[in-house]
């Protein structure tokens, strides 16, 4: 869209008004400013002051029509007065005969420089107003430019290799990098593909949970291919005026065609790519027009020119089917949470930018961060570096990384938290109950650490279990063992104190979620068997579940969930009753030390 010149009428009116204002200032205001401190009196007053001897100086102007004199008032303050000259031949004699000496003279006219007078009276004011006019003009043009730019895209354009990212900066996503490497190869050597008749995919959709590196992958593709990179968020297409989003789409693809070969990256494409017809708001017309324009542009541009469209989303189930068909987004590339080896590789990339000392066991940190994304791991490394600085060290230790893992999971230590001896005792037995039930079952992860140090997340203590390797399948026995471990804390409270507390609130929530999933999604209930009773949406955003059964069946589901939890709770009580001596011994040890490692716990338990 070409910019139109700003209208001149406002500036012309401004300059005419400025000229009139200068004339008025010269004619009216300037004389008033000059005479603001001079008092005008009549001639008789002047003569009276002369006779009283209060006049000090008298000056007759060059025209002989005005007398300016200074006199002392009744308070002794000297003031300047002016009066009109009268035909008085005796004036000189009166001044000489005054009681006090009077200095009197007549102003001799001196020629003024016409250039200086013109400069002071006209040129300087005009220049001031012209400068203000130019400033006003620039502001007006800026406003007009913003108005005319409503239909322009706000894409950030990075020139060749300016992203500074390559595939070497992306770790833990080998499958995604392999899928994107063909796009890089086509942009590097398109003839190799066109000779065999292959076409470059018009679009690739990066799908995965938040923080897995979708944007980083897109930047790495541009950096590897050494081509311009357009980056824009889906929300930037949505405007308050209908049609402007579609105009931005047209402008974006126009710019991309001019700079081909290039890569266009649309982040959070679900903002404009939602299924049409969802919702009943009139504002959806703008979103649907933007989506329709995007579909049209993707059909219209030729992939052989080297324009590749990359998009990222963590809500693929919400996208319009027309956007996902072949010929538009030809590839759907999963960018999942990294596995154990991927987490180790990501930690290596981030730790390479941090000073470390001593042995660093990346495998142990990676095992402790199962389910963490690349962004989570970067945050853990940064927390470790910050902790090293707080501790007065110039390098990161293994202990810094271990503590940063706990900070991300449970929050910082609450050093000023004060628990009563009774509360500390309850928390200690609660955590040891979890640990003993976990250790005495054959299908649970090993205990790594037990602590009763309160954390900012609200936890008064916790028991950390770490799997030896990533788990992709969970058996029915393992799921039930987790239920029993979770209920072990409440079981210990009941056995030792014969009461229950609110400390098991989070345990109850977790146990209910696991038991419900066993019944409704995993088919681990003898009563319902392999019957799907629940559906899940938005798997990359935590998952939203909804029952797909009747209300009568839902009531039976609740009963089955309660039965599983009660059975697990009874199992935990039975295990703790068989190990009451160890329960007391380990709880006292935990009260004394506040934190027990997994190895120390197992040694004491098996002693």
Measured CA to CA, the distance from residue 552 to residue 529 in angstroms comes to 17
Measured CA to CA, the distance from residue 568 to residue 481 in angstroms comes to 8
E strands in 125-233: 156-158, 203-207, 229-233
3-state SS assignment for residue 229: strand
| pLDDT of amino acid 510 | 94
Please state which CATH number belongs to domain 340-410.
1.10.8.60
| pLDDT of amino acid 43 | 75
Stronger pLDDT, 432 or 79, i.e. the higher one:
432
Measured CA to CA, the distance from residue 438 to residue 451 in angstroms comes to 15
| pLDDT of amino acid 111 | 55
Please state which CATH number belongs to domain 421-605.
1.20.58.760
Structure tokens that stand for 173 in this block: 């996503």
> Which of 3.30.450.90, 3.90.1150.10, 3.30.720.210, 3.50.50.60 would CATH assign to domain 37-106?
3.30.720.210
Beta-bridge partner residues of 455: 413
The answer to which of 26-40, 50-64, 299-313, 319-333 has the lowest mean pLDDT is: 26-40
Asked whether the predicted pLDDT for residue 271 surpasses 90, the reply is no
Asked whether the predicted pLDDT for residue 303 surpasses 80, the reply is no
Do 206 and 217 touch, CB atoms closer than 8 A? Answer: yes
The answer to which of 102-106, 406-410, 441-445, 524-528 has the lowest mean pLDDT is: 102-106
Q: How confident is the model at residue 398 (pLDDT cuts 50, 70, 90)?
A: very high
310 membership: H or E segment, kind and range: strand 307-313
Task: With CA atoms as reference, report the closest residue to 601 among 364, 478, 483, 437.
Answer: 437
Asked whether the predicted pLDDT for residue 220 surpasses 60, the reply is yes
Measured CA to CA, the distance from residue 94 to residue 164 in angstroms comes to 95
Q: Which own/partner pairs from 457-462 qualify as long-range (CB within 8 Å, at least 24 positions apart)? A: 457/410, 457/411, 458/411, 459/410, 459/411, 459/506, 460/419, 460/423, 460/427, 460/503, 461/427, 461/428, 461/430, 461/431, 462/410, 462/431
Measured CA to CA, the distance from residue 120 to residue 133 in angstroms comes to 20
Asked whether the predicted pLDDT for residue 571 surpasses 90, the reply is yes
Q: Write out pLDDT tens, residues 430-472.
A: 999 999 999 999 888 999 999 998 988 888 898 999 888 888 8
Rounded alpha-carbon distances, angstroms, from residue 273 to 250, 283, 336, 358: 16, 14, 21, 50
Q: How confident is the model at residue 72 (pLDDT cuts 50, 70, 90)?
A: confident
Looking from the CA of 322 toward its CB, the CA atoms found within 13 Å total 16
E strands in 420-474: 447-451, 462-465
3-state SS assignment for residue 328: coil
Asked whether the predicted pLDDT for residue 216 surpasses 50, the reply is yes
| pLDDT of amino acid 297 | 80
| pLDDT of amino acid 71 | 80
Parallel, antiparallel or unpaired: strands 595-597 and 544-547: unpaired
Q: Over the chain, what is the mean pLDDT?
A: 81
Over range 376-385, report the average pLDDT. Answer: 92
Peptide bond into 261 cis (omega under 30): yes
Measured CA to CA, the distance from residue 96 to residue 81 in angstroms comes to 19
Residue with tokens 């080998």: 174
Asked whether the predicted pLDDT for residue 560 surpasses 90, the reply is yes
> What residues act catalytically?
431
Over range 216-237, report the average pLDDT. Answer: 83
| pLDDT of amino acid 585 | 94
The answer to which of 152-156, 363-367, 418-422, 579-583 has the lowest mean pLDDT is: 152-156
| pLDDT of amino acid 325 | 84
Stronger pLDDT, 140 or 361, i.e. the higher one:
361
Q: How confident is the model at residue 7 (pLDDT cuts 50, 70, 90)?
A: very low
Residues 6+ apart with CB under 8 A from 55: 46, 49, 69, 70, 71, 95, 98, 100, 102
List the 447-451 sheet strands across, edge first. 462-465, 447-451, 595-597
- What are the structural domain ranges in the chain? 9-30+113-151, 37-106, 156-334, 340-410, 421-605
| pLDDT of amino acid 1 | 31
| pLDDT of amino acid 10 | 58
Q: Write out pLDDT tens, residues 126-166.
A: 777 677 777 776 766 655 554 444 445 555 655 554 557 88
Measured CA to CA, the distance from residue 505 to residue 261 in angstroms comes to 57
Task: With CA atoms as reference, report the closest residue to 487 among 441, 533, 449.
Answer: 441
Asked whether the predicted pLDDT for residue 113 surpasses 60, the reply is no
Q: How confident is the model at residue 244 (pLDDT cuts 50, 70, 90)?
A: confident
| pLDDT of amino acid 27 | 60
Measured CA to CA, the distance from residue 578 to residue 274 in angstroms comes to 57
Asked whether the predicted pLDDT for residue 586 surpasses 90, the reply is yes
pLDDT over 70 percentage in the chain: 80
Q: Write out pLDDT tens, residues 90-109.
A: 777 677 766 667 666 665 55
Highest mean pLDDT (candidates 299-313, 314-328, 396-410, 493-507) = 493-507
Q: 3-class secondary structure for 76-97? A: CCEEEEEEECCCCCCHHHHHHC
Q: 3-class secondary structure for 416-427? A: CCCCCHHHHHHH
Asked whether the predicted pLDDT for residue 420 surpasses 80, the reply is yes
Do 2 and 145 touch, CB atoms closer than 8 A? Answer: no
| pLDDT of amino acid 9 | 54
| pLDDT of amino acid 147 | 44
DSSP assignment of 185-201:
HHHH-HHHHHTTT----
Please state which CATH number belongs to domain 156-334.
3.40.50.300
Residue 488 dihedral angles phi and psi, to the nearest 5°? -65, -30
Stronger pLDDT, 427 or 456, i.e. the higher one:
427
Residue 48 dihedral angles phi and psi, to the nearest 5°? -65, -40
Angle between helix 374-390 and helix 340-351 axes, rounded to 10 deg: 40
Asked whether the predicted pLDDT for residue 283 surpasses 50, the reply is no
């Amino acid at each position: 869209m070409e910019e139109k010149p700003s209208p001149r009428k406002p500036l012309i009116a401004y300059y005419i008004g400025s000229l009139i204002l200068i004339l008025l200032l010269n004619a009216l205001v300037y004389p008033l400013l000059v005479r603001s401190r001079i008092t005008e009196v009549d001639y008789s007053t002047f003569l009276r002051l002369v006779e009283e001897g209060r006049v000090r100086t008298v000056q007759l102007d060059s025209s002989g029509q005005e007398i300016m004199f200074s006199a002392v008032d009744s308070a002794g303050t000297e003031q300047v007065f002016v009066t009109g000259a009268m035909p008085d031949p005796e004036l000189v004699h009166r001044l000489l005969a005054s009681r006090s000496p009077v200095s009197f003279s007549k102003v001799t006219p001196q020629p003024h420089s016409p250039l200086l007078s013109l400069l002071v009276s006209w040129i300087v004011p005009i220049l001031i107003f012209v400068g203000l006019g130019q400033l006003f003009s620039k502001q007006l043009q800026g406003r007009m430019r913003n108005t005319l730019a409503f239909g322009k895209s706000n894409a950030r354009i990075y020139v060749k290799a300016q992203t500074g990212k390559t595939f070497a900066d992306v770790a833990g996503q080998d499958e995604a990098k392999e899928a994107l490497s063909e796009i890089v190869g086509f942009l590097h050597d398109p003839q190799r593909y066109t000779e065999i008749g292959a076409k470059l995919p018009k679009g690739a959709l990066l799908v995965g949970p938040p923080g897995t590196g979708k944007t980083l992958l897109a930047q790495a593709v541009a950096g590897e291919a050494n081509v311009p990179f357009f980056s824009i968020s889906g929300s930037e297409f949505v405007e308050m005026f209908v049609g402007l989003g579609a105009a931005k789409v047209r402008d974006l693809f126009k710019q991309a065609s001019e700079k081909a070969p290039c890569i266009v990256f649309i982040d959070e494409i679900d903002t404009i790519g939602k299924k049409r017809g969802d919702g009943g708001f009139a504002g959806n017309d703008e979103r649907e027009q933007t989506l329709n324009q995007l579909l049209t542009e993707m059909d219209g541009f030729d992939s052989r020119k080297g324009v590749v469209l990359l998009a990222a989303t963590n809500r693929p189930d919400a996208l319009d089917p027309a956007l996902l068909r072949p010929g538009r987004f030809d590839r759907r590339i999963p960018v999942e949470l990294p596995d154990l080896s991927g987490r180790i590789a990501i930690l290596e990339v981030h730790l390479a930018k941090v000073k470390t000392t001593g042995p660093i066991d990346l495998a142990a940190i990676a095992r402790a961060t199962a389910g963490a994304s690349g962004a989570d791991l970067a945050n853990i490394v940064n927390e470790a570096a910050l902790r090293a600085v707080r501790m007065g060290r110039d390098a990161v230790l293994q202990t810094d990384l271990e503590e940063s893992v706990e900070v991300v999971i449970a929050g910082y230590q609450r050093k000023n938290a004060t628990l009563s001896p009774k509360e500390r005792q309850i928390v200690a037995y609660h955590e040891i109950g979890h640990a003993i039930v976990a250790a005495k079952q054959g299908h649970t992860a090993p205990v790594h650490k037990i602590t009763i140090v309160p954390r900012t997340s609200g936890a008064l203590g916790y028991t950390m279990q770490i799997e030896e390797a990533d788990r992709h399948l969970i058996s029915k026995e393992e799921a039930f063992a987790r239920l029993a471990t979770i209920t072990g804390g409440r079981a210990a409270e009941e056995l030792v104190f014969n009461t229950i507390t609110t400390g098991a609130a989070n345990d109850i929530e977790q146990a209910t979620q696991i038991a419900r999933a066993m019944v409704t999604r995993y088919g681990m209930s003898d009563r319902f068997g392999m019957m799907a009773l629940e559906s899940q949406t938005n798997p990359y955003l935590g998952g939203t579940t909804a029952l797909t059964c009747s209300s009568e069946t839902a009531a039976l589901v609740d009963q089955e969930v309660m039965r599983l939890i009660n059975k697990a709770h009874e199992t935990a009580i039975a295990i703790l009753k068989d190990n009451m001596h160890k329960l007391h011994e380990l709880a006292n040890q935990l009260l004394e030390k506040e934190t027990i490692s997994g190895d120390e716990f197992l040694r004491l338990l098996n002693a």
